[in-house]
Amino acid sequence: MASENDRYPLHKAVFENNLKNLSRLLRKHDVAEKDIHGNTALHLAVMLGRKECVQLLLKHDAPVKVKNGLGWTVLAEAVSYGNRPTISSLVRKFRQQSREQMEERRPNLVKALNKIGDFYMELKWDFQSWVPLVSRILPSDICKIYKSGANIRLDTTLVDFSDMRWERGDISFIFNGTAPPNESLTVLDNVLKIYQMVKYEESEIEIEDEVDLLMSTDILSAQISTKNISFIRAQSGWIFREDKKELVAGQYESDLYVVHGLVLESKKRREHLSHDDLQKNKALLESFTKGSNMQNFDQNGIPVRRLSLNPPPDKNVTWEQYIESELNNYPRLGRDLVYKESTKSFKATIAMSSDFPLSVEMLLNVLEVIAPFKHFSKLRDFITFKLPTGFPVKVEIPILPTVTAKITFQEFEFRENMSDDLFRIPLDYTEDPSRFPDL
């Protein structure tokens, strides 16, 4: 049996910066393999500043989104190290891999949508906060979803919700399952009567703008921990206890559950930021979120880009020291961490009904289509948990460390002969490719 020292030849070749050996090994070893610490060879190449190894691994389609045992992606470690060309390469590859993964799922997604009967559905979103007075200013929304064949339309008044910022309007999102990939997603602004095709490929300027944002702001990681999550029947009564039930939306008889162990884990790193960066951080993020240009320009009108950071001092860690170290307690390979971690426990309830005509699997297919909206993506992530029996007609989920959302499925009906016009761009709308900068 091979020792840990010899078990990960790709990782060892990267550690020793042996490009020739790495190239040879890539022909017969899995480029996505993780070592005992959860790092891929690409993680190590980025943390050690092995730029040529990074490019070779990306050429062999090494995954960019994958997280290591400490919860950090390759891109997060690249931002920490601060080499701009490496960060740019990773952003491009991440976009490419995301598109390819969506295209791989697309035939099955379209097939699944075609199997579901055509329907109309309403979801009510109520945002709440435990912070005094904040709940008063948080938005609410009733989303209307139409489904016909492989087409889906979402009508909403809430464009997006992130970092305590939101934009109201009259917005429609249309997915055409039979259209070419670069024409399948469209967003309509029904007030301004303009539309935007959701970008299939980003321009070089957009890529470089994103790199500037990454290099200028905190490295963030937030996820709902499911390690200890459990669903316990809610009960009523003081002496004679009985399981609580609720009639949701006046028509769905539901069993109520209390969700225990729901924890939002947030991590923040800023070792790559200077004091000056920290002062500008908030202004830059607000500028980007509002869609305005966050760049400075030189006298020729060319954007002034962030420069690569000076490499961190070499830690002189050997392969043996790294691979033989305690699990997830290996010596720091790149820049010294400036790190803050916080956890927030949430009390939540969920109402499960056997009366709702849609299945959870069908709902997941619908939500996958409208994933560009971050709050819908959070709902989809939650519903992938192992839920009690039935359909989640009312559910509470954390959206931000201080904000939860209560989503109620308040109307559903199967419909025949739905108008094709619902899934078309109106003739009097004009195209504006920059209306929704985050999509």
d(CA 333, CA 336): 8
- pLDDT score recorded for residue 1: 38
Dist. CA 31–CA 61, nearest whole Å: 8
Write down the pLDDT at residue 229.
86
Q: Two tokens at 268?
A: 């923040």
Distance CA 326, CA 329 (A): 5
Q: What is the DSSP letter of 149?
A: T
DSSP state of 243: E
The series of mean pLDDT values per 10 residues for the chain, 439 residues long, is 72 96 96 97 98 98 95 96 97 91 87 92 84 61 92 83 60 90 87 85 82 90 80 84 88 93 88 85 52 53 83 94 94 94 85 93 86 74 87 86 84 91 94 74
CATH number attached to the domain at 116-198+212-270+337-439:
2.50.20.10
pLDDT recorded at residue 292: 43
126, 396 contact by CB (below 8 A): no
Q: Smallest Cα–Cα separation from 122: which of 350, 426, 415, 345?
A: 415
User: What are the Cα distances from residue 384, in Å, to 9, 126, 188, 226?
Assistant: 35, 21, 29, 11
> How is 109-134 classified by DSSP, letter by letter?
HHHHHHHSPPEEEEEEEEEEESSTTH
Beta bridge partners of 176: 151
Predicted confidence at residue 394, as pLDDT, reads 94
Backbone angles phi, psi at 413, to 5 degrees: -155, 135
What are the structure tokens assigned to 232, written together?
């316990």
d(CA 167, CA 161): 7
Q: How far apart are CA 51 and CA 48, in angstroms?
A: 9
Determine contact, residues 350/259, Cβ cutoff 8 Å: yes
Instruction: At 162, list the tokens.
Output: 């992130």
